[in-house]
Amino acid sequence: MGELPLITPMPAVADFVLPWDGPVNDTVAAIGAARSACGDTFVIDGGDDRYLFLFSPAGLRDFYAVPEQQASKGIADWKMLVRKLPDELFDGRRTLPHELFTRPNVAGYLDALEEAISIQLSELHPGDEIDLFDFTRRLGHRLGLASWGGREILHSDRFDELIEALDVLDGSEAFVAPTRMQEVAQSGKAAEREAMAKTELILADSIAARRNPVGDLLDMILERWADIPDPERLSGVARDVILVHLGSMSNLFAALGWSLVHLVQHPDVLARVRAKQDADHDLVSRCVLESTRIGQRSIMLRTVLEPVTIDDGSQTYEVSPGASLATFLPLTNMEAGPGLDRYDPDRWKGPRLVSPPGLPSELVITFGVGPHACPARPFSVTAMSRVIERLFDAFDLEALFDDARPRPDQIGGVARAADPCMVVLRDR
């Protein structure tokens, strides 16, 4: 183990390892116990890494405000994802996911979303028993690929093969199943490399068939590769699409899964969503925010590149390059104020959380705050809301599960369910 980066003064060091350094059964319980023992600011060491965890309002304000060049989210994300994804997927990318969402082009992607939902709903029949998270995962692939891989991919006769390969590649496993990463490293990412080659081939075939621009996000990606001859162009475009898509599969389908679970569990709220009264015109998007809040399992990380000063409200710390700043959303999202342990879409007024009143925005996070807030928030809220409206317009969902639990070992993204959440579909 090398020398660990200095933090001055040194806060308490928690007696705990992060799940990619050793076995952890329940990350929320374990990091919660570290916080109870050490307070709102503490350190966790693992291997060559030193993490400064922050939970106080002032500490979180500094955490979210720190500029990228001083403490990088990009590098922190890459360090996490490269435990699972082949290194070469990151090389030479010409499209960063957030660039796709800079245009206010909601109308542009709506048609693609509607088509993806129609195809998925056409597979469902009254009497079918489905797992809500399997359903949203398949639909998440359709929604995303239709949006940045070109709508034509929805009709590829290799679509099922494509999503199977994407599920093997699945970068989010780095934080959904962190203890599996040692096995991935030992295999030299062999399964991931094979899946990436297959994904690239299927996408490149579909992209090559596009003759004229249609004005979608895939066209934006194609423009960036226009100066490169085939087959490098097709491979570059396909890899850009893959990286954006894997990013989208970190959160969207899981947040949608919890949104459906909560509505099945709260028929009173569902009745209001269906009734579409004026006062509830935005209820469906408030439901989505509420379920995302509850489902959040994100560890937020920044890799310190230049010395950073963090004031946690009681102490000022000088943090040296090489350390990571961190916070873990479930501990604040569910505990920062009274009643936050309950599902209540009416705690939102439009996009703002108003109950409990007066909470600083850094204490309850759905899509992030500050310079790194999620650029795909409007896209994601629209996509999830439309799925909810159309699914519950078409069917009643009868729960076959008693309780829905998040996976306890997850540390990042929105929670996956620990067990299947089966429902039976009934005609309305």
Q: Point out which residues bind ligand HEM (CB under 6 A).
A: 73, 97-98, 244, 247-248, 251-252, 255, 292, 298, 300, 365-368, 372-376, 380, 414
At closest approach, how far in Å is the CB of 254 from ligand HEM? 8
Structure-block tokens of residue 308:
């950073």
Structure-block tokens of residue 284:
């469906």
Residue 426, Cβ neighbours under 10 Å: how many? Answer: 12
| Rounded Cα–Cα distance for residues 286 and 348 (Å) | 6
At closest approach, how far in Å is the CB of 127 from ligand HEM? 30
In DSSP notation, 181-239 reads HHHHHHTTTHHHHHHHHHHHHHHHHHHHT--S--SSHHHHHHHHTTTS-TTHHHHHHHH
Residue number closest to ligand HEM, CB atom = 368
Closest CB to ligand HEM among residues 368, 425: 368
Integer Rg of the chain from CA: 22
Residue matched to tokens 């360090």: 79
Of the candidates 145, 133, 112, 418, the one whose C-alpha atom is nearest the C-alpha of residue 259 is 133
Of the candidates 391, 384, 386, 389, the one whose C-alpha atom is nearest the C-alpha of residue 366 is 384
At closest approach, how far in Å is the CB of 338 from ligand HEM? 23
| Rounded Cα–Cα distance for residues 115 and 142 (Å) | 9
Of the candidates 177, 217, 210, the one whose C-alpha atom is nearest the C-alpha of residue 415 is 177
Closest CB to ligand HEM among residues 236, 368: 368
In DSSP notation, 346-409 reads GGEETTEE-SSTT--GGGS-SS--GGG--TTHHHHHHHHHHHHHHHHHHEEEEE--S---B-TT
Amino acid (1-letter code) at residue 8: T
| Rounded Cα–Cα distance for residues 82 and 241 (Å) | 17
Q: Strand, helix or coil at 126?
A: coil
| Rounded Cα–Cα distance for residues 56 and 327 (Å) | 10
At closest approach, how far in Å is the CB of 134 from ligand HEM? 18
Closest CB to ligand HEM among residues 43, 300: 300
